[in-house]
Amino acid sequence: MTNPKPWDAALVRTWLERRYEVSRLDQAAADRRGYDARDDFDKAAAEEWVCRALKRADCTDDPAKLAARLKELIGQDEYPATGLYDDVRFERHVRAYLRKLAKMTKANEGFENTLRNQ
């Protein structure tokens, strides 16, 4: 069964850009909350890493290319980043966020939700 809704590459790029900005704000908020918000910081940093890796990529023009790129990123062994509290937790969050995006891409749903809290 094919999805009747056409792929909107501009909407996907807008969604990635907004999620990138929100993740930066979420990191700052978690940093201000201190020690107890370490997981929130790493989770927001993972979202930022994923959005930065994809937001300007040509793969967003086509859902098949985006799905292939997401699969490639999920298969990576490491996700280089600095300033994290826990590298293992960060990498787990990156993979979870990549899987979420893969599901959204496959269903072609969720990119219209650009609200801060999702």
Read off the pLDDT of residues 62-118 as tens digits, 9 standing for 90 and up.
Answer: 999 999 999 999 999 999 998 999 999 999 999 999 999 999 999 999 999 877 665
Alpha helices in 1-118 (DSSP H): 9-33, 38-54, 63-74, 87-107
For 38-50, the DSSP string reads: HHHHHHHHHHHHH
Q: Does the pLDDT at position 3 exceed 60?
A: no
pTM over 0.85? The answer is yes
Burial of 41: CB neighbours in 10 Å, binned 0-12, 13-18, 19+: buried
pLDDT of res. 117: 64
Q: Which of 96, 90, 66 is nearest to 78 (CA)?
A: 90
Confidence class of residue 44 from pLDDT cuts 50, 70 and 90? Answer: very high
Angle at 54 between CA 110 and CA 45, to 5 degrees: 85
Domain boundaries, given as residue ranges, for the chain: 9-107
